[in-house]
Chain A
Amino acid sequence: MRSASSLRMASASGVNDAEVVVPSDRGVRLENLHKRYDQVHAVRGVDITIDDGEIFALLGPSGSGKSTLMSLLTGLAQPDEGRVYIHGNDVTAAPPERRNVGVVFQSFALFPNMKVFDNVAFGLRQRRTPKSEIRDRVMGYLEAVGLSDKADRRPNQLSGGEQQRVAFVRALAASPHVLALDEPFGSLDVHLRGSLRELVRQLVKESNVPVLVITHDQDDAFDLADRVGIIRNGRIEQQGALSGVYERPRNRFVASFFGESNILPGEVLGAPKGREAMIRPENLEVTAPREGRLAGTLRSCRLARHVVRYQVESGGHEFLVIGLPSPDNSLAVGSEVGLTWRSRDVISLDPEAVPAQP
């Protein structure tokens, strides 16, 4: 245990946008984690700190090391290097049952032989909580997610969304020190995800636990997270506050994996030559032909719910522009348009590091 009242965290490679200051007896801290499986270096030097009540989304494509990191946090695997601290205690070598990490699995992994009530009560029973307290807590949580009338059902009698909520309160009811959500909405219909994310965020904020969300769905990050880390090939490419990473992505991978972006040679956007630069589509504006910084041709124009998506071609480059619909922007496809933007919205990207061989 660290005695210092607080510890400044910043990774050695300096990819943290926001240096996080978390008192050492709070939250969860993954410190310089490394994990190799046979020939694969699955996790390479990951540092993540999540404060109590904070939601951190780890976003990456499949095979990027997310699941391995989850195993290292829950204790299903031990790191080859590095340490895991929960509430300041070093739990690197502790088995899963000693860590108190609540997990929500993509497949929910509800116990099929138990009723909903017993599923949610499972964690409390492991620590010999008095019966009346178990009853109150379990029913309270089921109430909170609108399932108190389904307490006597078996998991296979519930819908997917209901199962997800049961899995979620099962993890929360045991008062975990950390909550880990593994692709929590991956197996649900898209229209269900939004409302569930809202519910999850609200409950998590009330319970004041640090939350790690592992996902490849950027909407999970946008709708849930306070901070976000983008992982690739076992390395965190960039982490920081949601808005910071979105507004100032470090390289092409982050810019294209997190949010939509226009990535172009720097000089096209008025940024330094020789490097790529990016601008978010909502920061571009379609103007009258001669009023823009660039002149181009409108290739397509499509209403996407509450925004309009324009495809503009200029000087051999394709631009995606997202704007608000308005009566006077009914432009004909093929017409001449201009493109404009504010210089401060152009982000110069770091040259892509060639991914090292595993």
Chain B
Amino acid sequence: MMISNRVVEEGRRSQLRLIVAGFVGVFLLYSTSFFVPMAIMLLASTGDAGIGVSEYSGLEAYREFLGSSYYREILLDSVQLAVVTTVVAALVSFPLAHLLVRGSKLVKAVTFVAVLSPLFVSVVVRAFGLELFLRRLGIENSGTAVVIGLVQVLLPFMVLPLAASFRELDPLLVTAARTLGAGRIRTAFQVSLPALMPGVVAGAVLVFVLALNNFAIPTILGRPDDPVIAQVIYQSATTFADFTLASAIAITILAFVVVLLAATGRLGSRNPNLGQRE
């Protein structure tokens, strides 16, 4: 009895040690790669980090970014770009997710490869390839080109959550709606779409955030005189060495994204469509 107790105690203690070690490891990893840089950036945004040259101090950089119509326009343009990208990606994803779940074995395999394979190619390589193609169509260096590029790069983040929702959708719901007199279109809007909403929302949040922060695609495919917010941050930091403004913008965008995530999270908990189903 004593012995077995001691053995159990010993086992528990070594398990505990392992868990503590894991926590410490994860904490170190995050703190060095995320929290510390974030803290430095927060400091830099008020000009207190002593990096670069800036005419701003205190909250002036925030005031400049949020107050000037120049930056506000760029921000609105960037948000608009992200919204358009999200909507287009969602529309393209519906048929793809459907094929991925309901297609024959061959169709599933082909769709899967088609959706995921871009992830294995560098964004820069893909963007340049797309640039060459769009040049032939005569729409290189335009807003349209950037949307096409972003949709192409971010598609997997929309298709995969949507496919998960498709997989959960009971095909009998569609049958039930049709036998109750609803045509295909009404069934799609009243029955299928609400049931797919969790996937749509998850995918949309991912695509929106990633599109808003994307740097490579607008740089390679967009117009140089029409920068997005990520390019403005990059320019401020590298061309003008104004780390204060760059940090302030980055922090503001981050705060915006956090608020957005919290809002969709709340939406999810309030609306049973978006929540967990039994």
Contact = CB atoms under 8 A, between A and B. Distances in A.
Interface residues of A, number: 27
A105 interface: yes
Task: Give 8 nearest A-B pairs by CB, closest first.
Answer: A126-B181, A123-B180, A109-B172, A113-B194, A96-B178, A109-B176, A156-B278, A103-B179
B186 interface: yes
B270 interface: no
A101 interface: yes
B175 A156 contact: no
Given A113-B194, A113-B195, A156-B277, A74 B181 contact: no
B173 interface: yes
Contacts of A96: 175, 178-179
A112 interface: yes
Given A74-B175, A154-B272, A170 B194 contact: no
Contacts of B144: none
Given A112-B195, A123-B180, A105 B172 contact: yes
B99 to A, nearest CB: 21
Given A109-B176, A113-B272, A156-B278, 11 more contacts: A95-B178, A96-B179, A97-B180, A99-B179, A103-B175, A109-B172, A111-B173, A111-B176, A112-B272, A113-B191, A171-B180
30 contacts: A74-B175, A74-B179, A75-B178, A75-B179, A97-B179, A97-B180, A97-B181, A100-B181, A101-B179, A102-B179, A103-B176, A107-B170, A107-B172, A109-B170, A109-B172, A109-B173, A109-B175, A111-B177, A111-B194, A112-B195, A113-B195, A113-B272, A122-B190, A123-B180, A126-B181, A126-B186, A156-B277, A170-B176, A171-B179, A174-B181
B64 to A, nearest CB: 46
A111 B176 CA distance: 9
A192 interface: no
A99 B178 CA distance: 10
B54 interface: no
Interface of A: 74-76, 95-97, 99-103, 105, 107, 109-113, 122-123, 126-127, 154, 156, 170-171, 174
A75 B179 CA distance: 8
A75 B180 CA distance: 12
Which of B177, B178, B195 is most buried by chain A, counting CB atoms within 10 A of its CB?
Answer: B178
A126 B183 CA distance: 9
B206 interface: no
Contacts of A156: 277-278
Interface string B166-206: 00001011011111111100100011001101000000000
Max count, chain A CB within 10 A of own CB: residue among B181, B194, B195, B272: B181
Contacts of A107: 170, 172
A116 to B, nearest CB: 13
Contacts of A109: 170, 172-173, 175-176
A279 B278 CA distance: 48
Contact of B180 (A76, A126, A154): A126
B181 A127 contact: yes
Contacts of B272: 112-113, 154
Contacts of B191: 111, 113
A95 B180 CA distance: 11
